[in-house]
Amino acid sequence: MASTHAPWRTLARQGLWLGLWWGLVWVLLTQTGPLRATPPLRVGDVAPTDILAPTALEYVSEVLTRQQQEAAEAAVGRVYDPYDPQIGRRQIERLQAALDYIEALREDPYTPFDQKVQDLLHMDAIRLTPSQARRLLVLDDATWREVRRHA
């Protein structure tokens, strides 16, 4: 009987080895992807297929970050104008004109007090509240001179 089972054992052993061989080939083909030649690529070429990384990785480029920061800084306009002495002179002239107008109203004996208050409220150079306008008109002369001197 030993002689009749020997061919079946040999066939079974060969079938087992053949199955293991094809199983190994199948595993290699499915796990490593298609075995094809990749075309030579140079810097700047577009890859013919998408190549996916096994894990997501993020890299923050210091060079590109600095370039973006410099571009953002350059995009912001100047906040302050250069010094212009004419602006200060015009403001002093407007102040002096407003003080002259207030003094003229204070010294005008013919205009009623309420009209003087209304005139002060309608000045273009400065904005006053009604109580501020009244206080300016009722100041004594010494205090008014002191206010004018400090202005």
Residue 29 placed within a domain:
no
Residue 112 placed within a domain:
yes
Residue 122 placed within a domain:
yes
Per-residue pLDDT for 140 more than 90? Answer: yes
Residue 146 placed within a domain:
yes
Q: Which residue has the higher pLDDT, 16 or 2?
A: 16
Residue 44 placed within a domain:
no
pLDDT at 151: 82
Tokens 């061989």 belong to: 21
- The structure's pTM equals 0.47
Q: How far is it, in rounded angstroms, from Cα 23 to Cα 25?
A: 5
Q: How far is it, in rounded angstroms, from Cα 107 to Cα 101?
A: 10
pLDDT at 32: 66
Residue 136 placed within a domain:
yes
Q: How far is it, in rounded angstroms, from Cα 20 to Cα 39?
A: 33
What does the block give as tokens for 146?
């002191």
Residue 115 placed within a domain:
yes
Number of domains within the chain: 1
Let me know if 93 is exposed, middle or buried by CB neighbors in 10 A (0-12, 13-18, 19+).
Answer: exposed
Residue 135 placed within a domain:
yes
Look up the domain containing 126 and give its range: 93-150
pLDDT at 97: 93
- Average pLDDT rounded to a whole number, residues 108-134: 92
